[in-house]
Amino acid sequence: MALTIWLTDRSRYETGVGRCARLRYLQAHAGPNGYGWARQAQSMPAVTGTLIHDPITEGILRPLMETDERPSDAQIHQAIASAQLKYRLQVSSRGLVHTTDPQELELRVQEQCTLLEGLVWTWVAAALDQFHEEWKVIEVEQEHVTVVGCTCGIGDRLGTAEEHSARSCAGIGWMTRGDCITQRRTTGTYAYHDFKSTGMNSGNWRDTWYHRVQVMAGVLGAEDALRATVDPSVTIDEIYIQPLYKGRHAATWDPIAKAAVGPKFQDSPLCYGWHRPGNPPMVEEAWAAKYDYVDEDGAKRRLTKDYTRKGIWTLPEALWKANGALSPSHYWVRWIAPTGVLADVWNPIGPIYREQWKLDQFLTQMAAEEQQWQSRVWGLYNVASGGSGWETETFQRALDTLVPQARGEACQNAFGDRCSMLPLCNRAEGWQTPEAIGFIARRPHHTPELEQAIGRGLLPPDDGAAEGDE
């Protein structure tokens, strides 16, 4: 039976508290079914977290959990190929072949597929063997719902969400689906590993993770499951963030012109190398990972001007096959690994240690925040039920009163990335009917919430909806 309790997760909590309350409402509570809007995908898709996660979780971590043996490179390669196919299908579904120059489209597709593959091989080359030696994988992307703020008498973090729901509990269901829970082979202690693909790699961004106690709250469901099956005293005390840096999709910065010039490209050493064509017998063909580099004596050097940027996917087949590689990207990552370049792509954060008082504090705050959201959503529901729908000034005034906008950086960040909901907030032409300007009803990603929506008759089991932008 579908859950009746109020469900939330880390993403919407962080959005509402740390970014913009209006954005949370539009993404998670608005729309015809009450589960939010998503922007219908129309532009060229970038490789996002799910596509990068799948080869790691399904091609590496799940086999580790099931067999405790390192998967072969061939298995990993197959998982990568499946993710690349999903990406190509995304591109195809958007109809870009009819609106984009074919050569430009194929270049972007090759670029993004190479980035996806390179990020996975980077983690394999830089981390997998040590990870496997140190940790035993015991859970991979398992859905959990932890109830806090219980009103039915079972108690916080006790019993199942279904049991709370059956007793008409007014508590909050905290949905979690951690990437990977592990047990250290030497000490038997437990840790959580969170894989993040990101365009940021700054020290400030890295430091923020040590303050995000909600990440530790993301393992409560897994911890409760371990307590029920292994030991009532089990705690998950460490977190490791595994960031995979994608780079930015941007034009080349010209320091003299103080502007970005030329066509945009994925600025990552996993996509492009520096190539010098051969002119035998005088000059041999050569590749390099960086234009500016440090030589063996520690001196800063720069490649000669006959080197130009070139896609990794163009590496000669005879070269990578002769070296036992499964693809150009597989060869390239192994080839550049000794140069230290991969440290710019994968640089783990942690351990971040559990602080119980902060965790308790967060759970109290989260339950109170979600109760406020319940009141906000019910207030807006009552306005709409009275005949004043989304497009009316009455509803919009209620929205302004109950769910304020942050504006500023929440609308457009320092990199120029715009909020996907900005057309609705800025009342772009057609905003009164979001479906008419490219918005679709969000289909929940968490299984408990999706089953809840289906159980309430708000979504069909499979609506075949077009994919939306994250």
Q: Are residues 29 and 134 in the same domain?
A: no
pLDDT of residue 99: 60
Query: H-type helices in 94-212, by residue range?
Result: 102-123, 129-134, 161-166, 203-208
Q: Are residues 33 and 71 in the same domain?
A: no
- Judge whether 406 and 19 are in contact, CB under 8 Å: yes
Tens digits of residue pLDDT in 219-234: 999 999 999 899 999 9
Which of residues 353, 372, 391 is at a domain's end? 353
Mean pLDDT of 111-140: 96
The answer as to whether 264 is a domain residue is: no
The answer as to whether 63 is a domain residue is: yes
Mean pLDDT in the chain?
A: 89
**Strand 6-9 relative to strand 468-469: parallel, antiparallel, unpaired?**
unpaired
Which of residues 353, 375, 399 is at a domain's end? 353
pLDDT of residue 47: 67
DSSP letter, residue 34: S
Higher pLDDT, 111 or 299: 111
Res 93 pLDDT > 80:
no
Q: Are residues 99 and 31 in the same domain?
A: no
HSE-up of residue 94 (Cα within 13 Å, Cβ side): 21
Q: Are residues 15 and 75 in the same domain?
A: no
Q: Are residues 13 and 93 in the same domain?
A: no
Q: Are residues 100 and 137 in the same domain?
A: yes
Res 43 pLDDT > 70:
no
Tens digits of residue pLDDT in 247-261: 887 777 666 666 666
The answer as to whether 464 is a domain residue is: yes
The answer as to whether 304 is a domain residue is: no
Which of residues 353, 373, 389 is at a domain's end? 353
Q: Are residues 408 and 436 in the same domain?
A: yes
Q: Are residues 361 and 438 in the same domain?
A: yes
The answer as to whether 242 is a domain residue is: yes
Token digits of residue 253: 């910065």
* Rounded distance between C-alpha atoms, residue 121 and residue 282, angstroms: 35
Mean pLDDT of 197-223: 88
The answer as to whether 329 is a domain residue is: no
Mean pLDDT of 319-333: 95
Q: Are residues 228 and 364 in the same domain?
A: no
The answer as to whether 338 is a domain residue is: no
pLDDT of residue 416: 74
pLDDT of residue 469: 40
Mean pLDDT of 358-378: 95
Q: How confident is the model at residue 197 (pLDDT cuts 50, 70, 90)?
A: confident
Mean pLDDT of 406-432: 88
In Å, what is the CA distance from 410 to each residue of 407, 414, 425?
Answer: 6, 10, 11
Q: Are residues 86 and 188 in the same domain?
A: yes
Helix (H, G, I), strand (E, B) or coil at 175: strand
Mean pLDDT of 203-207: 86
Asked whether the CA dihedral 228, 231, 232, 234 is positive or negative, the reply is negative
Q: How confident is the model at residue 201 (pLDDT cuts 50, 70, 90)?
A: confident
* Rounded distance between C-alpha atoms, residue 467 and residue 25, angstroms: 20
Side chain identity at residue 210, one-letter code: Y
pLDDT of residue 191: 97
Q: Are residues 87 and 191 in the same domain?
A: yes
Side chain identity at residue 425, one-letter code: C
pLDDT of residue 468: 42
Q: Are residues 95 and 210 in the same domain?
A: yes
Res 470 pLDDT > 50:
no
Res 466 pLDDT > 50:
no
pLDDT of residue 45: 64
- The region of weakest confidence among 78-87, 104-113, 313-322 is 104-113
pLDDT of residue 449: 93
pLDDT of residue 220: 92
Mean pLDDT of 5-18: 94
The answer as to whether 182 is a domain residue is: yes
Q: How many domains does the structure of the chain reveal? A: 2
Closest of 346, 380, 370 to residue 170, by C-alpha: 370
- What is the pTM assigned to this prediction? 0.88
pLDDT of residue 467: 41
The domain of 197 spans: 49-142+177-247+347-353
* Rounded distance between C-alpha atoms, residue 406 and residue 375, angstroms: 20
